[in-house]
Structure 1
Amino acid sequence: MNQQSICEHLSALTEIRTAQEHVCEECIKTGSMWVHLRTCQTCGKTHCCDSSPNKHATKHFHRSGHPVVASAEPGEQWLWCFVDEQIVGY
């Protein structure tokens, strides 16, 4: 990661957490479907993206304050900071 142009939340990461399972646990609980998955870089939980009906990753951010998620989609390598609305590839 280019440390000069990225926000403090992204530059503070020392390792990237990956999805342990490729499911949204919250969608499973409610019988909902998801479109794409995102893994929280603070706690490691994986939730559905904003294209999904329930937007659990964003809800997790608002509830927990955990600022950064990584795409949990195969072949995608990027991070998103909710606080600074910044994306960066890795």
Structure 2
Amino acid sequence: MPTVRLRVTASEDDTRALMNALVAIEGIEHVEEVADLMPHLDDEDSSSAGLPDDASPGYHQIEVEAPNDEGMRRVHELVERAAERLSLAIEIVEEF
């Protein structure tokens, strides 16, 4: 089954909305946010910790399994529309 991996920079709510839209595509059976393996370099003792300038949208990795090439095309179209409509930063990392 073809798989698309996405990197998304967005709030939790916008990411959840994107994932719900992906699940709604006919034939899509698996949409999952995979674990964040990046180490977080936040320093709790920093004088700037918790300031609004440090509060940016979250980083999410999403994995989508499509049933076929047509499903992959639909995922791409939806991701492009969502990025424009919700002002998300979305990168299609790899497909296999």
TM-score in same-fold range (> 0.5): no
> Which structure shows the bigger proportion of residues in strand conformation?
2
**TM-score (norm. length: structure 1):** 0.28
**TM-score (norm. length: structure 2):** 0.27
